Amino acid sequence: MLFERYVVTPIWNGLLRFASEPAQTLERAVFEVAQAVTDFDAQGQGLIAVELDGQLVQVLGILRPEERDIGVRVRRGGRVRIEEVDAVRNRCLVSSLTP
């Protein structure tokens, strides 16, 4: 027990200090604010950029059908909120935050 307490434990704790934080995935971006990189087209689709782990990740943003039906337009530079994430297809369902 003394060997484990005074030899193994300090070595183990020292090694664990170098462990990194787990990487953030696209799924963790739900309810985050993103910025439109391009104007959204008539189908309500466009590129958005969201920051994950200090990197800007660009994915396809699809405007919520309710907002698209009432004529909401998202322009380049506009802010959107990510509502749902489809990580397999690398796209997000978004809602506009710009009036």
What average pLDDT values come out for the chain (99 residues) when binned by 10 residues? Answer: 86 81 80 95 95 90 95 94 93 91
Residue 23, φ and ψ in degrees, nearest 5: -70, 145
Give the H or E element holding residue 63: strand 55-63
Q: For the chain, give every domain's residue range.
A: 24-96
Give the chain's end-to-end CA distance (angstroms, integer): 66
CATH number assigned to the domain with residue range 24-96, chosen from the 4 options 3.40.50.20, 2.40.50.140, 1.10.600.10, 3.40.50.620: 2.40.50.140
Which pLDDT score is estimated for 73?
A: 93
Alpha-carbon torsion (77, 78, 82, 86), positive or negative? negative
| Phi-psi category of residue 90: left, alpha or beta, with phi > 0 → left and psi -120 to 50 → alpha | left
pTM of the model: 0.74
